[in-house]
């Protein structure tokens, strides 16, 4: 054994990965995430829930360090509850999505050691459905759709070409589910099940799509990558 061999540092931050997506549609927003939690090449949780409620109609999509983003969500949920009580918000007039997104931005900006890229999305009576990207560093940007995480690299072009103004709820849910399926097929740090949350004036609806469900997007037949997978499987290669 070579005594001069370099031993990997245990103090270095492990590589983490995920895919999170949020899309506005005509009447609300759709949030989606995969469920795989990885530490380097080790999958520590294959059924995690990365869509965290901050209020009844506002949710946070988390990517990066699970511990950091969970801490941010806990603090922001507490601050949002205090804000609602102080201003005496009623169920008919809940806290605004932009207010909660600004709280997430403030937590990110004032704690730059945190490793977490997040998306805040929800519905309020004033601005209706809204999506805010909150990347590492403390920026906040409102978008009609946004993505983050390691798997986002592979689906920027897909969402850019497929998104259009005035999507229906079903079209938005299908778009988010299909984008996640594409990212999960390509990104080794994304996988598991697809979780969707739809928020509109009527309330919040959760949905989980397992890879064995008939409703799971069939990316194998309509993508170049899927064709390559099928070819490898034909020759007996496990993928």
Tens digits of residue pLDDT in 4-55? 554 444 454 444 578 999 999 999 999 999 999 877 777 888 888 999 999 9
The burial class, CB within 10 Å (0-12 / 13-18 / 19+), for 238 is exposed
Dmax (CA) of the chain: 70
* pLDDT at res. 1: 47
CA dist., res. 161 & res. 20, Å (int): 18
Q: Distance of CA 221 to CAs 112, 142, 160, 226, 228, Å?
A: 43, 34, 21, 6, 10
| Of 170, 160, 98, 87, nearest in space to 129 by CA | 98
| Of 202, 200, 217, 208, nearest in space to 59 by CA | 200
Residues shown for the chain: 239
CA dist., res. 159 & res. 179, Å (int): 7
> Cβ–Cβ contacts within 10 Å for residue 198, how many?
24
Compute the mean pLDDT over every residue in the chain, rounded to the nearest whole number. 86
pTM of the model: 0.83
Q: Say whether 146 is catalytic.
A: no
pLDDT digits (tens, 9 = 90+) for 111-152: 988 888 999 999 999 999 999 999 988 899 999 999 999 999
* pLDDT at res. 14: 47
> Cβ–Cβ contacts within 10 Å for residue 158, how many?
16
Band the pLDDT of 99: cuts 50, 70, 90.
Answer: very high
CB half-sphere exposure, 11, CA atoms < 13 A: 0
Terminal-residue alpha carbon distance, the chain: 34
Write the DSSP string, 106-165.
Answer: HHHHH-TT--EEEEEEEEETTTEEEEEEE-TTT--EEESEEEESGGGGGTHHHHHHH--T
Helix (H, G, I), strand (E, B) or coil at 230: helix
Spot the catalytic one: 18, 19, 69, 223: 18
- Tokens in use for 226? 């899927």
The conformation of residue 37, written as its DSSP 8-state character, comes to: E
* pLDDT at res. 84: 84
């Amino acid at each position: 054994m070579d005594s001069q061999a370099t031993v990997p540092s245990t103090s270095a931050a492990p590589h983490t990965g995920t895919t999170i997506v949020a899309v506005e549609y005509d009447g609300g927003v759709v949030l989606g995430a995969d469920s795989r939690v990885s530490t380097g090449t080790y999958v520590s949780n294959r059924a995690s829930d990365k869509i965290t409620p901050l209020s009844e109609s506002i949710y946070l999509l988390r990517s990066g360090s699970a511990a950091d983003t969970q801490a941010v969500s806990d603090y922001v949920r507490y601050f949002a509850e205090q804000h609602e009580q102080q201003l005496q918000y009623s169920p008919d007039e809940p806290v605004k999505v932009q207010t909660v997104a600004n709280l997430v931005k403030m937590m990110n900006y004032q704690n730059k050691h945190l490793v977490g890229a997040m998306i805040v999305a929800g519905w309020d009576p004033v601005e209706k459905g809204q999506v805010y990207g909150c990347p590492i560093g403390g920026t906040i940007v409102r978008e009609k759709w946004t993505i983050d995480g390691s798997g986002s690299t592979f689906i920027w072009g897909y969402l850019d070409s497929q998104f259009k103004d005035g999507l229906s709820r079903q079209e938005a849910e299908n778009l988010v589910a299909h984008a996640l399926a594409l990212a999960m097929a390509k990104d080794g740090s994304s996988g598991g099940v697809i979780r969707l949350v739809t928020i509109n004036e009527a309330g919040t609806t959760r949905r989980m799509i397992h890879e064995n469900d008939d409703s799971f997007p069939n990316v194998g037949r309509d993508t170049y990558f899927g064709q390559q997978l099928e070819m490898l499987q034909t020759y007996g290669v496990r993928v």
